[in-house]
Amino acid sequence: MIALVTGAGSGIGAAIAERLGRDGHRVAVNDLHLDAAEKVAEGIRAAGGDARAYAADVSDEAAVSAMMANLRAEMGVPEILVNNAGFGHQAPFPEIEPADFDRIFAVHVRGTYLMIRACLPTMLAAGQGNIVNIASQLGQIGGVELAHYAGAKAAVIGLTKSLAREVSAKGVRVNAVAPGPVNTPLVAALSDDWKAAKRAELPLGRFGEPAEIGGVVSFLCSDD
């Protein structure tokens, strides 16, 4: 199958793309930066898989349309879509500027919507498909100095649940994965105080690893 993973130039997205490549899927590696996507695609190919890199800002409708046209011409129609693209921004609520709020929602929520909008029609026509949205634990419990990020991830969870009700009976599975903190550049950018407080909350006493999330997504994309 062809699997499209957004925001796959590093962190969780890269781990998901690499795992799906090992699972035998042909992987379209998307990232805002082509060089980062190409590096991950090269690694998948070096391991014996098939992957191509595609650069696009998932919050930009025209960029998404152009990427999808290229992808369909070069690889075919994605049967698996993993919406992982995102970024973090930490600030006390009074310091969150409208531009910060808008950009968080543009990438995490609008980006997820635009990607599903681009891929869902062919899945429905085929009577099969698999969509996995990467949400966050913070979308369920909230996060200090991350109100806009947590709000966006809560929106992704609501979108996922609603779409699953709408299209599951038509052969398209829709799920979300809501990780806690994972050792990625996004989490590394948060304050040391935040990371220490968060680590103290976790039963394992450590943050997750990207490959662990890759394993969950691999299961959700499998026949199991």
Q: Could you list the active site residues? A: 149
Helices (H), 23-146: 34-46, 61-74, 98-105, 111-126, 138-141
The angle formed by the CA atoms of residues 143, 146 and 161, to the nearest 5 degrees, is: 70
Biggest CA-to-CA distance, the chain: 50
194 HSE (CA, 13 A, CB side): 15
By three-state DSSP, how is residue 198 classified?
Answer: helix
How many angstroms separate the Cα of 197 from the Cα of each of 2, 184, 188?
40, 17, 14
Take residue 182 and report the two structure tokens written for it: 């994972």
> What is d(CA 187, CA 184) in angstroms, rounded to the nearest whole number?
5
- Closest Cα to residue 14, out of 41, 48, 50, 35? 41
The alpha carbon torsion through 98, 13, 134, 26 (nearest 10 deg) reads 130
In the block, tokens 């394993």 appear at 215
